[in-house]
Amino acid sequence: MRFEWPGGVRFALTPPYEGHDVHEGPGVGWGRSAKRAPHRCFALFLVFAVAGCTSLAPKYEVPVVDTPVAFKEAKGAWVRAVPADTLQRGPWWELFGDPKLNDLAAQVQVTNQNVAAAAAAYAQARAMTQEQRATLFPRVDLDANANRSGGGGAPARSSYQVNIGAAWEPDVWGRLRLGVQSARAGEQASAADLAAATLAAQGELATNYIGVREADLLRASQLETVRGLERSLEIARNRYNVGIVARTDLLQAETQLANARADLLGLERTRAQFEHAVAVLVGKAPGNFTLEPDPQWRPQVPGIPVDVPSTLLQRRPDIAAAERRVEQANSRIGIERAGYFPSLNLSGRVGLSAASIGDLFSSSALAWSIGASLAQTLFDAGATRARVAGARAAHEEVSARYRQTVLNAFQDVEDQLVALRVLQEQQALRQRAWEAAELVEQQVLNRYRSGLVGYTEVVTAQNSAASARRALVQVQTDRQLAAVALVQSLGGGWQL
């Protein structure tokens, strides 16, 4: 009799010799006196043992991604990524040289609730791996019971039992080992998710902190603008009072000053919102958290090497998590394919049973049993085939997500590298524009005092100077924000 299961696994059982006493079992005949029966048992055991060494999952390969030779905006050559998210990233926020930012960023990993949730999810994944690994070993149970019964005039009877039983499913087809492998890949993906949550929270903290400091600088600049407009209003009022200029000059000056003060209030609201966001990121209620204003704060953009190595992209935890989910899905294919094959279970039990506790531990009370069962699904209307097809489709899905994650990572890095290059050039231009606008404002105001120009020219010059000051502050902080985004795009900095 020949058996063949999907996957190319075959074995044959030879019928017993004619004329021998035969015990017919379900599907297999064994001759009691056949000399070759032990050989058949050994052959069957050998087939199962060999099958257990073969994985039913496809050979795992990292999905191929369209990979550039080098970053367009940098000189570092690309090396094919191998997940390296476990490498030490270091306190990358120290690159910005801000003690307060250093203090806040260090708190994120301890107090941020999103990070705490990701840590709890990782703990669950570790527990699941341990639970799955336990299926490779026998399970031993102990049970004891005592009963007393009677009725109908019969004397009461007592019975006592103590049993120890064990059950074990040998991992013949590797299904259980694939389950452990799948759980371990899920655990590693969860660890990468934790790293991604931490990196994201730290990056968000740095972004919001820079937003607070940008509001401080803009507020200081706006206060300077308000003080200048107050002086201009005083000049216009004096000239109007002595009849040198029309009332329109006075009204224009009052309008400018009112708008500038309104803009100042808007900056206060913006700063408060950024401060509240920082508070939540470090796990505190906004009402219990305050960042003192620092109008003297100066943005420090870290030096970024022009030859940023593309290998740093390997440390992105989201790429690592996506890749490990591909491996997990690959293992699931093998687990579902195991449904084509029979399952083997071994069991044993030793027990004591007696009518009194005193007789419970006598030799006559001892009973034992051992057994083995082999089960094979003969017909399931294609359910197993559907599960295998579903597992393959799931593998294709996560493979596509992995490729998209890698491509998005390439885009992120290129975006931030070009942003940093352009913003550096813009800052030099904004600096010159601000210096020129300041000179124009001063000269036009002097000419207005001398009666050489109208107040409309003063308004134009002052608006241009204020706009140039704001643009310079914004481009300085935008460079910092781009540097933070590059840190996140590279998985935690550019230092190996």
Residues 287 and 236 in one domain: yes
What average pLDDT does the segment 237-257 reach?
90
Domain of residue 437, CATH code:
1.20.1600.10
Would you state the pLDDT for residue 147?
86
Would you state the pLDDT for residue 24?
35
What average pLDDT does the segment 403-414 reach?
89
CA 149 to the chain's CA centroid? 60
What average pLDDT does the segment 267-281 reach?
95
Compute the distance between CA of residue 328 and CA of residue 319 in angstroms, rounded to an integer.
14
**Residue 345, pLDDT above cutoff 80:** yes
What average pLDDT does the segment 182-192 reach?
92
Residues 198 and 242 in one domain: yes
Selection from 174-178, 317-321, 368-372, 390-394 with the highest mean pLDDT = 390-394
**Residue 410, pLDDT above cutoff 60:** yes
**Residue 105, pLDDT above cutoff 80:** yes
> Are residues 175 and 136 in contact, defined by beta-carbon separation less than 8 angstroms?
no
Residues 96 and 144 in one domain: no
Compute the distance between CA of residue 69 and CA of residue 80 in angstroms, rounded to an integer.
9
Residues 311 and 209 in one domain: yes
Tell me the CA distances in angstroms from 193 to 207, 261, 494, one per residue in order.
21, 46, 20
Read off the pTM.
0.76
* Pick from 72-81, 251-260, 273-282: least confident: 72-81
Which two tokens mark 66?
A: 């369209």
Q: Is residue 75 part of a domain?
A: no
Phi and psi at residue 7, in whole multiples of 5°?
Answer: 105, 0
**Residue 319, pLDDT above cutoff 70:** yes
Would you state the pLDDT for residue 309?
57
Residues 36 and 109 in one domain: no
Let me know how long the chain is: 496
Residues 278 and 297 in one domain: yes
Residues 319 and 347 in one domain: no
* Pick from 30-34, 271-275, 397-401: least confident: 30-34
Compute the distance between CA of residue 198 and CA of residue 91 in angstroms, rounded to an integer.
12
Q: Is residue 59 part of a domain?
A: no
> Are residues 454 and 232 in contact, defined by beta-carbon separation less than 8 angstroms?
no
Q: Which residue has the tokens 């203090």?
A: 103
Compute the distance between CA of residue 133 and CA of residue 189 in angstroms, rounded to an integer.
17
Decide: residue 368, CB within 10 A, 0-12 exposed, 13-18 middle, 19+ buried. Answer: exposed
Give the rounded percent of residues in the chain with a pLDDT score beyond 70: 81
Would you state the pLDDT for residue 121?
92
- Using DSSP's 3-state secondary structure scheme, residue 374 falls into strand
Which two tokens mark 346?
A: 């071994």
Residues 285 and 332 in one domain: yes
Which two tokens mark 433?
A: 């524009």
**Residue 91, pLDDT above cutoff 60:** yes
What average pLDDT does the segment 63-70 reach?
70
Q: Is residue 76 part of a domain?
A: no
Helix 247-281 with 99-111: angle, nearest 10 deg: 40
Domain of residue 161, CATH code:
2.20.200.10
Compute the distance between CA of residue 168 and CA of residue 137 in angstroms, rounded to an integer.
7
Nearest alpha carbon to residue 493 among 107, 188, 119, 96: 96
Between 354 and 287, the higher pLDDT residue: 287
Compute the distance between CA of residue 132 and CA of residue 127 in angstroms, rounded to an integer.
9
Compute the distance between CA of residue 250 and CA of residue 232 in angstroms, rounded to an integer.
9
Q: Which domain holds residue 36?
A: 2-52
**Residue 14, pLDDT above cutoff 50:** no
Q: Is residue 355 part of a domain?
A: yes
- Using DSSP's 3-state secondary structure scheme, residue 148 falls into strand
What average pLDDT does the segment 334-350 reach?
90
Task: Summarize pLDDT for 305-314 with one digit per residue, the tens.
Answer: 655 556 667 7
pLDDT band per the 50, 70, 90 thresholds, residue 287: very high
Between 301 and 85, the higher pLDDT residue: 301
Cβ neighbors of 220 (< 8 A, separation 6 or more) are 295
Would you state the pLDDT for residue 159?
83
Given phi > 0 = left and psi -120 to 50 = alpha, else beta, which region is 104?
A: alpha
pLDDT band per the 50, 70, 90 thresholds, residue 189: very high
Which two tokens mark 196?
A: 């991604």
Q: Is residue 78 part of a domain?
A: no
Compute the distance between CA of residue 318 and CA of residue 426 in angstroms, rounded to an integer.
32
What average pLDDT does the segment 426-439 reach?
95
> Are residues 340 and 356 in contact, defined by beta-carbon separation less than 8 angstroms?
no
> Are residues 33 and 21 in contact, defined by beta-carbon separation less than 8 angstroms?
yes
> Are residues 236 and 455 in contact, defined by beta-carbon separation less than 8 angstroms?
yes
What average pLDDT does the segment 430-459 reach?
91
The continuous run of DSSP H or E covering 163 comes out as strand 154-168
Compute the distance between CA of residue 355 and CA of residue 495 in angstroms, rounded to an integer.
76
Residues 105 and 141 in one domain: no
**Residue 166, pLDDT above cutoff 70:** yes
Would you state the pLDDT for residue 454?
87
Nearest alpha carbon to residue 387 among 457, 338, 321: 338
The continuous run of DSSP H or E covering 351 comes out as strand 343-354
**Residue 393, pLDDT above cutoff 90:** yes
Residues 154 and 198 in one domain: no
Q: Is residue 362 part of a domain?
A: yes
Would you state the pLDDT for residue 285?
93
Compute the distance between CA of residue 179 and CA of residue 171 in angstroms, rounded to an integer.
11
Give pairs for 225-228: CB < 8 Å, separation 24+. Answer: 225/260, 225/462, 225/465, 225/466, 225/469, 226/257, 226/260, 226/261, 226/264, 228/441, 228/462
> Are residues 371 and 402 in contact, defined by beta-carbon separation less than 8 angstroms?
no
Would you state the pLDDT for residue 307?
55
What average pLDDT does the segment 264-292 reach?
94
* DSSP 8-state assignment for residue 32: S
pLDDT mean across residues, the chain: 82
Residues 276 and 355 in one domain: no
Residues 196 and 294 in one domain: yes
Which two tokens mark 477?
A: 């902080």
Q: Is residue 87 part of a domain?
A: no
Would you state the pLDDT for residue 21?
38
**Residue 40, pLDDT above cutoff 60:** no
Q: How many domains does the chain have?
A: 3
Q: Is residue 67 part of a domain?
A: no
Would you state the pLDDT for residue 13?
34
Would you state the pLDDT for residue 431?
95
Compute the distance between CA of residue 490 and CA of residue 62 in angstroms, rounded to an integer.
20
